[in-house]
Structure 1
Amino acid sequence: MRTKPLLSGLAAVFFATLGATQAFAQDAGELLGAPVSGKMGFQPAATELARDIHGLDHMLNWIIGAIVLFVALLILWVIVRYNSRSNKTPATFTHHTQIEVAWTIVPILILVVIGAFSLPVLFKQQEIPEGDIYIKVTGYQWYWGYEYVDEGFAFDSYMIGQPATGGEYMRTPEVEQMLADAGYTPDQFLLATDTQVVVPVGKTIVMGVTGADVIHSWTIPAFGVKQDAVPGRVAELWFKAEKTGTFFGQCSELCGKDHAFMPITVKVVSEADYATWLAGAKEEYASIETAPSAVKLALAE
């Protein structure tokens, strides 16, 4: 079948580039921003945006908890005070102006308070600042494409274990070895990618997000960012990472049968390490431009 030579060609490209990036992957810092089995709650915040979202969520939980407690106590009081044994003669009135005014004004005040705290968080996300680095992100079925616009190079990012990287969507010993060679643990299967977005710590990163076929969604929970990738449109998000390490995300919009197999990996490194990576990436990913020739040759066979 023509599919097998194509996959072989893509796998060859992957293994050719994996060796060049292996040492860098192993020095990228802690593997952060990943889901933890049995845990609940947010991943630790790595940006100001994420901290704002966490703070807003905690505030809303207190408000919700207070409302639930008040309503529960009110229902309990009504049950005890106005049951048929305690209240032999039920009241016959149909209106109570003071209570009706109260249950109208109080919710309005609660919503005003919530809006006063939530709108600044929303505006901070949506008002895109001047970026130090601009990256174009394109969602495909089922992988991500990244273009460092100001640097003039681009690359695609596949999950380690996809057929394009030599896997079969299964955590086999061969795939575990690929994960280890790239600096990951076996637990990062379904999260780790063969190439990663690399950005410097403390710099403002602006990403233009779009889709090439269907709607995808680019998400890094630890950064507090999520943006739908809509074909024909470019929407922007931004973040400024405050700690080094490797952070994981997933496509968060159902986009087809392999939706579960298009993760996102972002490495945050020091400025010096970023400059080193950038110099190598320009040469490395420029050489990958010859990859389509190998694929075309495989297809011709």
Structure 2
Amino acid sequence: MMRKFTLGWIAVAALLLAGQEMHAAEEGHVLAKKSKGNSQPAGTKVTKNSLLEITDAKLTVEVKGQPPMAGTMSRKDTEVNTLEILSATKARRLLQDKETSSAMIINGQERPMGDKPESLKGVPVILEEKEDGTYTATLEAGEATAAQTEDLTKLAKGLGNDSDLAIYGETPRKPGDKWTVDPKKIKAFGEAEDLAGTYTVEFVEVKDFQGTPCAVLKSEFEVTGAALGGAGMKMGFKGTAVTHRSLADRVDLETKMESTMTMEGQPNPQVTMHVTGPFKMTQTGTVKKP
């Protein structure tokens, strides 16, 4: 008797759960949420690995009073970054590794690019949200050097503008949905800021990725903006990206982007540059709960 009752209860529960899942599927999935403070519990670690590549981009340089010069430019950036949630308003950021290699060839001769060392590599940084919604970035221990102070200021400035929320919104989404994104609301894109242009996202399907149910999202974009840290230079990107975003944690577990990049302007009054070529980016993420 007990066995029959138990099996019947399981069957009813299964039907109820199935109904809830169908209801959730009909209502859609919320891909991002606006919240004050950290949405993940203390002890959670989010690690992101990124690879950025520009390969043999065509380069034209004009120096005032001289004939135009042609060449190529290549660059490769790798980065491993971990964010550990300490409380609702505080997190520890550790740039575990960052390597940049670049090359510029003009008229058949290689020119130095002056790659800048990363001042915060291997240095724990505390990120904290204040009551007024602003953020601070400070070394967990020790006194910051001049280079570190500059990079900490840039790091704090980049916090508090949720690009995920700007791209995905809080509206429930389901496979087949397509929507437009206002590029002005995205903090930065491929080393460009103050963006303008077009950006659309399509919810393709729900699919398991590395054992986690994810939304598969395809983006198409054509945006322009000012180069980060490059006075007088403008950048543009036209291409597509495919993202696997965890439905449970609302974290991008993988993004692969392919695009054409353009960069042009005057790095100084005597020099005009124009660059165009392939720009690829791959980013993977992992979430480790306490």
Indicate the TM-score class for this superposition, using the shorter chain for normalisation: under 0.3
Between structures 1 and 2, the one with greater helix share: 1
Q: Which has the higher contact order (CA 8 A, sep 6+)?
A: 1
Length-normalised TM-score, structure 2: 0.26
* Larger Cα-atom Rg: 1
Structure richer in strand, relative to its length:
2
